[in-house]
Amino acid sequence: MALDFTTRQRMEYFGIKPVKSLGQNFLNDLNVVQEIVYCAGITKEDLVIEIGPGLGTMTEKLAACAGHVTAVELDRALIPVLESVLSPYDNADVIQGDILKTDISALISARLAEYKSLKRVKVTANLPYYITTPVIMMLLEDHASEIDSMTFMVQKEVARRMTASPGGKEYGALTVAAGYFSDVKVCFDVPPHCFIPQPAVDSSVIRLEIRKEPPFELDDRDFFFKVVRASFCQRRKMLANSLANAPYLGVARDHAVKCIEHIGKDARIRGETLSPAEFAALSNTILRSR
């Protein structure tokens, strides 16, 4: 199928109606598709994992640049479309399944073992909005060591949250996690009219360059993220109370106050004012003072 076959023509030809519950807002602007592939910096040495290829509009462009593309699509109705669209490419395959239930480590090692020329792993997606945060958190927390970069279309508000500064209402656990595992950049914004159907909100393309070294030392990464989650769980409360109210931390209020003061902060602060490095200092202090 030719690259200039539009999204609408593709939907009509294959009789596809977008399924709202699956977050199906198909990209209908080839310039935007091209720009995402450009921002992802895809080369012939890359294995690309595409999440939710939809009608294959971006998958085709990725296949033209990448060493190999594996696309994971949940909607069974789209599999014949993808097989047809991708038939001219011998470096692309499609897996039907839920990305949140896919064994991504096994998938990556299988492809890297099969195609020896692949040197890097890049994940791309126009992410379905209903699973944006779980997918990003899962990839960061469980697969950061296997991935080089991730380029995603997300809601503009999510892009803002991922790049927010401490203290503001957009700053949260997602900001801290994204910043710990990666260097996040907002590449460009995409208006609703570039999709079929049009979403109610603006979107942004973001690129996460996975860090080779952590930005700060953590005694226990899981505990650090528990401290971060507890701090943002009750973000209007004082940090000492939020920590003491999280049973999974096992920190009494007095102990929390001492640890906050130990890192040079006033015990009355709210968690949302701490930078990621200060959360690291706090979680290390709690652990070391037990």
Per CB under 6 A, residues contacting ligand SAM are 22-27, 51-55, 57-58, 72-75, 78, 98-100, 126, 128, 131
Q: How far is the CB of 173 from ligand SAM (least distance, A)?
A: 21
Q: How far is the CB of 88 from ligand SAM (least distance, A)?
A: 18
Checking DSSP bridges between strand 92-96 and strand 149-155, what pairing results, if any?
A: unpaired
Name which of 26 and 279 has its Cβ closer to ligand SAM: 26
Q: How far is the CB of 5 from ligand SAM (least distance, A)?
A: 13
| Residue 95 identity | I
270 phi and psi angles, rounded to 5 deg: -95, 150
Name which of 140 and 282 has its Cβ closer to ligand SAM: 140
192 phi and psi angles, rounded to 5 deg: -55, -30
Q: How far is the CB of 257 from ligand SAM (least distance, A)?
A: 43
DSSP state of 5: -
Radius of gyration of the chain measured on its C-alpha atoms = 21
Would you say 233 and 241 are in contact if contact means Cβ atoms under 8 Å apart? no
CB-based closest residue to ligand SAM: 52
Q: How far is the CB of 50 from ligand SAM (least distance, A)?
A: 7
Tokens of 233: 């769980």
Name which of 53 and 67 has its Cβ closer to ligand SAM: 53
Name which of 107 and 256 has its Cβ closer to ligand SAM: 107
Name which of 74 and 230 has its Cβ closer to ligand SAM: 74
DSSP state of 55: T
Contacts of residue 46, defined as CB under 8 A and 6 or more positions apart, other chains included, come to 66, 67, 68, 118, 119, 120, 121, 122, 148
